[in-house]
Structures are given as structure tokens and as C-alpha cells.
Structure 1
Amino acid sequence: MRQPVSHLAGSSFTHLVLAGYTLLSLFPLFLVLINAFKSRAGIFDAPLALPNGETFSTIGFEKVLGKAHFLGFFGNSLTVTVLSLVLILLFGAMAAWALSEYRFRGQRLILLFFAFGIMVPIRLGTVAILELMVKLELVNTLSALVLVYTAQGLPLAILILSEFIQQIPKELKEAARCDGVGEFTIFFQIILPLIRPAIATVAVFTMVPVWNDLWFPLILAPGEATQTITLGVQQFIGQYATDWNAVLASLSLAVLPVLVIYVFFSRQLIRGITAGAVK
């Protein structure tokens, strides 16, 4: 049966809008990548043109990888991001399981508390967080960043994961309990595999803000040994002159982990988003 003309027109318009939004979102990334492989003159003379024989240059990457402590900054960002993700996903899944599976006094208040954590930006508590880190002697350490990012990501992770856990049939869990399976075994061997799309969704949504954050690294870990990649890029930006070759090369290398994560988890991410849309 042929589809109505109005349906085809609506579908075509939707795809056109989505394609336009995709191009608009990818254009800044495309601009950074093509200019990262240009000379300084090529960047300013024709910023929208592709590199050619006259403008092609890798001087920015040579400066970043050779003269700067870029690999150290990259390692710091990777360490902070991975540890934060592990803690967020582990504690978030466990808290979501407890809030979804068990009934106890104050349960609704705890859920409201986590929802409040999503609505209120954590940056509003920067002064209090800095004072706490000073008292704990964690300033200029990666541990301070891991703790802050874990607290920042837990509310969203708990609410998303609890919504998915509630959709798991109770008969599956009750059957496991009847067979004598413990609660930890049910959680790690039954629940976690069933909510992998939700875990991938939380991981992607959590990783991007952590990897790209400049605020807390600047305040809590500005030392050279603890700088993250976003803070390390600032060394190429001066008050009177900016090394645009190095800046664009740094940004190009910094975006690679995000792209890799998306490539590997894109299917799980789409499944998680679409599943959450119909719950």
C-alpha cells in the first residue's frame, strides 16, 4: 500500500530538519579539524578551505606533542574520566536498584533529593566545594576532580537507571530468589546485563561534560602535574598572542576519545534513548 502524500511530505521534512541540524552540529568540528592541518597563514587567509599543497602543515601537532606536556594532560583527563565513570555507573546502578526494588521509609524523599541534584547546577557550590577540598588537603589532586564529578553525575545516572530497572519483570527476579540466588548475584549477573543500553546512555552523557570541563580543573587542580587537557590547551592562548596552530591541534586530539566512545557505544546509546522515550 502506498503511503499518503502528506505522510511522505512530513517524513521528508523531518529528515531534512534532522540533516540540517546534523550539519550545523558537525560544522564547528569540521572547521577545527581542517584548520588543524594548516599553516598560520592558511588559517587566517581561508579558514573554510581545505588544506592544500601550500597551506598544509603539521606544525601545530609537532608543538603539542613535542614541546608541551600534552600527553600528561591527556593522561590526567583520561584517568579522571574513567574513574568518575566507573564510580558513577557502579554506585548509580546500585542506588537505582535499591530505590526501585525495595520499599522503605523516606524513599520518595531520596528520589526527590536526587532530582533536586539535577535541577541545581553543582557550580553554585564551588566555594563550599573548594573549602571542603582544602580541609581534606585534596587541592591539586586528581582525587578532588573524581569526587566532584562523581557527585555531579550520580543524580542523572540514578534516575535513568532506576527507570529502566523498574521495567524488568518481577517474575525474573522472584524466580532467581526462589532458586536461592543472592541479591548481589541477581544484581550483577541478571540486572546489569539487562540494562546495558541504559548504562551506555549514562556513560556517554556523563563522559562528555567530565572530559570537556574547564571550571573545576581550573579551581581544584590548576597545578602543572594535575592539569587536564582542557586546562592544558590554555597555555597556547596568551593575552596578546595566540598560537592557533597548537590550539586547534590540541582540540583535534582532545575530541578523539569522545568520538571513539560514541562509535563503540552508538548502538547501545540509540537503544537506550529510544527505549527511554517509550517508557
Structure 2
Amino acid sequence: MTALDTERPADVQRSAPVRRGKAKPVGGVVGSIALWVYAIGALLPLVLMVSSSLRPNGDLVKDPLGAPWPPTLDSYKTAWTDGSFATYFVNSLLVTCGAVLLSTAVATMAAYGLARSRSRLLGAVESLFMSGLMLPIHLAILPIFYLFDGVGLIDSRLGLALMYAASGVPFSVFVLTTFFRQLPEELEEAAALDGASPWQTFVRIMVPMVKPAVATVAIFRFVPIWNDFLFPLVLLRDDSKYTLPVGLTTFFGENEANYSAIFAGLVITTVPLIVLFLLATKQIVAGLTAGMSK
């Protein structure tokens, strides 16, 4: 002990920090292992699906878990041409993209108006939008069928897209209204001083600031519409207007023994969703975590 140490007060000497190795919490290790197990469990069916679609049907029947070597695309050709998956894919794309674009555009304008209004009447309108979240849309299949039959929209891809767009407005308004209310009103006041009209303020300033939320809402609406089976089955009659889920069921009934072609059809149906999530991951995370930090 040096002379300087002897001159320090006793409480200072006792409070000197003791350096120790930083131990990794047990919960963090368990959580990481659980996430990896879940990821492997979620990816394994996708890997098997893609692997099976690249194998001849005879080899797939003999050895279901074998490796796709040499890989072949014959099953994809069968599904795309003989199974009319090219037509089903275009139908799904038109219906889903049309419904998502229309629903998101209407919901964004409605959410902005509701977020900035202090009127009791519009407050009642917002409650009406929120009430749409309480009723699962599939429970209204019978009234929707009779309504579409009365206005001549049965067997119409336009009618199907309009129905999907209307069903997605309550959820989109609920999410976007919250984001618009977090934006300071000084932004609109500054834009008005610069000579911007309310529409210019909305399009050029407010919408870009909630872009992550808009992207998140659009993606969360895209997935259930793309995968929906009930409404296309009930509202569409012509095979050439079927979407992918209904077309896949038809193809499965016609090719019960051609497992490789069925797996190829599943891959064609699933790949757009995987690509969408890979491209929009940053927007989804930004939309879900917005407002969590200052």
C-alpha cells in the first residue's frame, strides 16, 4: 500500500469498484436457443417443399426425403402451363394489388382527417370504423353474396377486389390514425405559411412521414388477401378467374398422384409472399417500432 492509499478515507477505499467479468444472462442464452429452434422448425417445411418440387415424381415417391439431384424444372412447367397457374397467378396479382392499393389510399385519407378533426361527428365516424374490427369478414359471406348477386358482381374480379378493399379499411384506419396523431400540428402550420394547400401538405409532408406505417398496413393486408380461399370460391364461377388458392385446390384434385407438380404449385403460391417480406423487412420493423423511442 502506498502513502497516497493510506491518506484516503476508509469509505473511499471500500467503495472502489471491483472489476468482474460480465456474465451472460441465462435467459438470453435460452431465448437465443428457442429462437433458433423456432427458425429451423419454420424453415424446414419450406426447404422440403422446394426440394420436392425439384425432383421427378417417381424419385419423390420412392424416397420422399431424398436430395434433388439432379434438379429438374419439369414440375414447374406442368403446373405453370397444364395447371393454368400462369392465369391464377395473374388473377391473384390483380385482385390483391388492386384491393391493397385502394384500401390503403382510402384508409390513409380517412385516418388523416380523423386524426386532425376535433368534431364529435367525426369521432362517431371513427367509432364506426373501429366497430368494423369486431366482425370477422367471413361471417358476412351470405349477405355479401346476396349483395353482389343483386348488383351483378358475381364472378367478377373487380367485385372481389372491392370487397377485399372495403374489409381492410377498418384495420388500416385504426393503425394509421394513431401514427398521424403522433405528428406535431406545427408541421401543417409551417406548410400553410409556405403557401401549401391542405392537399399538398397531406401528400408531400404528412404521408411521407408515416411511410413505414403505410407499408406495414399494406403488407399486413396483402398476405390474408393473397391466401384467402373462401371468397374466391364463393364469388367466382369461371375457372379462368380463379385465384391461386382456389386454382391450387383444383390442380390438386386433377393431379393427386403427381406430388412433385403439387409441390411446384405450392412454391409458386408461396414465393411472392417470401419475396415481399424480404424486400419490405426494414419498412415492417420501422412501422412496428415507430414511437417506441424518443
Q: Which residue of the partner structure matches residue 182 of structure 1?
A: 197
Q: Does 1:234 align with 2:249?
A: yes
Shift of 1:276: 5.7
Alpha-carbon distance change, 278 to 41 in structure 1, aligned in 2, over 3 angstroms = farther
Alpha-carbon distance change, 215 to 116 in structure 1, aligned in 2, over 3 angstroms = same
Alpha-carbon distance change, 40 to 160 in structure 1, aligned in 2, over 3 angstroms = same
For residues 121-147 of structure 1, the C-alpha deviation after alignment (integer angstroms, 9 at most, x for no partner) is 100000000001111111111011111
Structure 1 residue ranges without an equivalent (≥5) = none
Preserved contact between residue 145 and residue 220 of structure 1 (Cα < 8 Å): yes
Shift of 1:199: 1.1
Q: Does 1:27 align with 2:68?
A: no
What is the alpha-carbon distance in structure 1 between the residues aligned to residue 96 and residue 21 of structure 2? 47
After TM superposition, the runs of 4+ consecutive aligned structure 1 residues lying more than 4 A away are: 1-4, 276-279
State the identity %: 31
What is the alpha-carbon distance in structure 2 between the residues aligned to residue 120 and residue 50 of structure 1? 46
Q: Which residue of the partner structure matches residue 63 of structure 1?
A: 78
For residues 154-210 of structure 1, the C-alpha deviation after alignment (integer angstroms, 9 at most, x for no partner) is 111111111111111111111112333211111110011111111111111111111
Alpha-carbon distance change, 276 to 148 in structure 1, aligned in 2, over 3 angstroms = farther
Shift of 1:92: 0.8
Paired residues, number: 276
Structure 2 residue ranges without an equivalent (≥5) = 1-18
Q: Does 1:197 align with 2:198?
A: no
Q: Which residue of the partner structure matches residue 170 of structure 1?
A: 185
Q: Does 1:51 align with 2:94?
A: no
What is the alpha-carbon distance in structure 1 between the residues aligned to residue 117 and residue 21 of structure 2? 48
Preserved contact between residue 31 and residue 47 of structure 1 (Cα < 8 Å): no
**RMSD between aligned residues:** 2.2
Normalising by the residue count of structure 1, what TM-score does the alignment of the two structures yield? Answer: 0.91
Q: Which of the numbers 68, 88, 92 marks the counterpart of 1:77?
A: 92
Shift of 1:230: 1.4
Preserved contact between residue 96 and residue 165 of structure 1 (Cα < 8 Å): yes
> In terms of mean alpha carbon deviation, does 164-173 or 126-135 score higher?
164-173
Counterpart residue identity of residue 29, structure 1: L
Residue pairs, 1:1-279, within 5 angstroms: 4-5=22-23, 8-53=25-70, 56-238=71-253, 241-275=256-290
Shift of 1:222: 3.2
Shift of 1:75: 0.7
Alpha-carbon distance change, 2 to 234 in structure 1, aligned in 2, over 3 angstroms = farther
Q: Secondary structure at the match of 2:120?
A: coil
What is the alpha-carbon distance in structure 2 between the residues aligned to residue 278 and residue 20 of structure 1? 30
Preserved contact between residue 115 and residue 155 of structure 1 (Cα < 8 Å): yes
